[in-house]
Amino acid sequence: MRKKTIYTCQQCGHKTARWMGRCPGCGEWNCLVEEKPAPRGQISPGISGSGPVPVTDVLTIDEERYTTGLGELDRVLGGGVVPGSLVLVGGDPGIGKSTLLLQAAFSIAAQVGVVLYVSGEESARQIKMRARRLQALHPNLLLMAETDMSVVERCIQEINPVAVILDSIQTVFHPDVTSSPGSVAQVRECTGILMKVAKSTSIPIFVVGHVTKEGTLAGPRVLEHMVDTVLYFEGERHQSFRILRAVKNRFGSSHELGIFEMGNSGLAEVSNPSALFMAQRPAAVAGSAIVPSLEGTRPLLVEIQALVCPTGFGMPRRMTSGVDYNRVALIMAVLERRVGLKLANHDAYVSAVGGVKLDEPAVDLAIALAVASSFKEKPLASGLVVLGEVGLTGEIRAVSGMDKRLQEAAKLGFTRCIGPQREQQSTLLGIIDYTGIQSLAEALEAAMDR
């Protein structure tokens, strides 16, 4: 009797009885892999064996979060580690994911209790070499080199640690699933087991995930849906600064940002990132504008740089780094139509300095003024920060968190701010000279008249 097989998409998890070049679920090419279906009647046990109960009768235990010893990591997690949470950490190869989690494991082991560090990519000896370099040696930190998920599950139940770290989810497999490690079936099954263990034992579990060349987490999208928190560890490999960003968090804000600096002894927290981003800023240079951005609850002063020059070809070139490409194109169209800057035959390059990615509307005015400053070859006024959303008619719209933004700007020595007109009275703190404007043309006049 011929054994039945199915074909599963490695991107979306869609199943089909025959192989096709293109997945009918997500439209990706060459992503269907042959797998054997699980035997019928095999149903994984649930998190809890109890039936439905009224919400008022659910027994709750007053459990507080505990710190990881890394303030930046605690900030992104929402204030610390939640017992029973499943956290996924993704990032480019070599960016420092294992270093970050090993330092956190050492701190938790030293302060709270036993931590189990499971690696499917390194031996215990190799992990100890890195731990010695990071000065992260502690008897409560247990190392385990294993890829069999059933063995890992059994060890967690026997040891009952206060936290578990698995590096990485693409290297482990369950013997009952016939597909290879990293496949949709294996990732889904192993993540389901970890979720069941975390919820039933209140043990927080950190899982490392690989990232594809497009910058997204490898494996099926169901992986991100199953976990409680998804963190991305970002940064340029040739720079020492790393940014930890939350894109999903069931226990806190998903807009928080943590900043680290990679050194010989591991990752060090950056307590004042605004001063770091402003340290090498050139003075009185055309094409530079400072914006007080707000990432979650943290204000950051970031420099926006723009370079505008006549194009040498028929089609002008646009390039961006750290800011949205389509947003820059829209702002340049507003500058040409509403202000009169002839940018149609000019190349434009816009960048957010420091490797940070800005996607909030408050940076619109800084992008517009940096482009206009470079086009006119005239620097903006010294000691100036700008913020505001630019509309299609050229109006400047209000943004949130003005008090935090202005306080951060004044702390670093900036004396003047240009922003929306309606915020002039409610946010003028007496510590910075605020100029309210209603249109982009007014902003250009106010930014370059001093």
**Which pTM was predicted?**
0.79
352-383 pLDDT, tens per residue? 987 788 989 999 999 999 999 999 999 999 89
Q: For all residues of the chain together, what is the average pLDDT?
A: 87
Among the residue ranges 73-87, 99-113, 216-230, 420-434, the one predicted with the least confidence is: 420-434
Q: Say if residue 226 is in the same domain as residue 318.
A: no
Encode pLDDT of 131-173 as tens digits: 999 999 999 999 999 999 999 999 999 999 999 999 989 899 9
pLDDT level of residue 2 (50, 70, 90 thresholds): low
The mean per-residue pLDDT over the stretch 10-18 comes to: 80
Tell me the residue range of the domain where 18 lies.
Answer: 1-37
What's the confidence (pLDDT) of residue 43? 45
Q: Which residues sit in the known binding site for ATP?
A: 91-98
Asked if 393 and 434 sit in the same domain, the reply is yes
Q: Which two tokens stand for residue 206?
A: 């950190």
Instruction: Report the C-alpha gap between 53 and 366 in whole angstroms.
Output: 53
Asked if 236 contacts 186 with a C-beta cutoff of 8 angstroms, the reply is no
pLDDT at 49: 55
Which two three-digit tokens encode residue 347? 């190349």
CB 207 within 8 A of CB 88: yes
The amino acid at residue 346 is: H
Residue 218: per-residue pLDDT: 60
Distances in Å between the alpha carbon of 380 and those of 17, 288, 303, 442, 443?
63, 7, 12, 14, 11
> Do 251 and 211 sit in the same domain of this protein?
yes
pLDDT of residue 38: 59
Q: 380 and 329, same structural domain?
A: yes
Same domain, 257 and 141: yes
Look up residue 24 and give its amino acid.
P
123 lies in a domain?
A: yes
Give a yes or no: residue 53 inside a domain: no
Query: What pLDDT does residue 115 have?
Result: 97
Q: Could you tell me if residue 94 is left (phi over 0), alpha (psi between -120 and 50 degrees) or otherwise beta? A: left
pLDDT at position 449, please?
59
Question: Could you tell me the two tokens for 355?
Answer: 């490797």
Mark whether 305 and 235 lie in a shared domain.
no
DSSP run (H or E) holding 99: helix 97-111
Task: Please check whether residue 420 lies inside any domain of the structure.
Answer: yes
Sign of CA dihedral 193, 195, 200, 204: positive
* Three-point CA angle 26, 28, 31, nearest 5°: 110
Strand ranges, E, within 325-444: 346-352, 384-386, 389-390, 396-397, 416-420, 433-437
Domain assignment present for residue 257? The answer is yes
Report CA 238 to chain centroid distance, whole Å. 19
Exposure letters 286-306 (e unless 16+ CB within 10 A, then b): bbbbbbbbbbbebbbbbbbbb
Is residue 60 a part of any domain in this protein? no
Q: Is residue 221's pLDDT more than 80?
A: no
Domain count, the chain: 3
Residue 151 sits in the same domain as residue 218: yes
Q: Are residues 254 and 283 in the same domain?
A: no
Decide if 376 contacts 308 (C-beta within 8 A): no
**Do 141 and 256 have their domain in common?**
yes
Domain at 199, CATH number: 3.40.50.300
Which of 78-87, 105-114, 262-271 is least confident? 262-271
256 and 336 in a single domain? The answer is: no
pLDDT of amino acid 168: 87
Give the residue ranges of the annotated binding site. Answer: 91-98
Q: How many residues does the chain have?
A: 450
Question: Residue 113: inside a domain, yes or no?
Answer: yes
Examine the domain organization and report whether 168 and 292 are in the same domain.
Answer: no
Residue 381 CA: distances (Å) to CA of 186, 290, 333 = 58, 11, 24
Q: Which of 250, 270, 290 lies at the terminal end of a domain, its last residue?
A: 270
What's the average model confidence in pLDDT over 20-30?
87
The Cα 235–Cα 230 span in angstroms is 17
pLDDT exceeds cutoff 50 at 1: no
pLDDT tens-place string over residues 288-326: 999 999 987 889 999 999 999 999 877 899 999 999 999
Do residues 131 and 146 both lie within one domain?
Answer: yes
Residue 41 — very low, low, confident or very high, per pLDDT cuts 50/70/90?
A: very low
Residue 99 clears pLDDT 60, i.e. is over it: yes
pLDDT at 430: 64
Q: What is the pLDDT of residue 30?
A: 83
**CATH number of residue 353's parent domain:** 3.30.230.10
Q: Are 371 and 308 in contact (CB under 8 A)?
A: yes
Do 182 and 211 form a contact (C-beta atoms < 8 A)?
no
Out of 270, 290, 314, a domain closes at: 270
The pLDDT of residue 348: 96
At 40 the pLDDT is: 52
Of the pLDDT bands very low, low, confident and very high (cuts 50, 70, 90), residue 46 is: low
Does residue 28 sit within a domain?
yes
From 254, 270, 286, the end of a domain falls on 270
User: pLDDT tens digits for 236-248?
Assistant: 767 788 889 899 9
Q: Is residue 80 part of a domain?
A: yes
Nearest CA-CA partner of 218 in 90, 32, 35, 27: 90
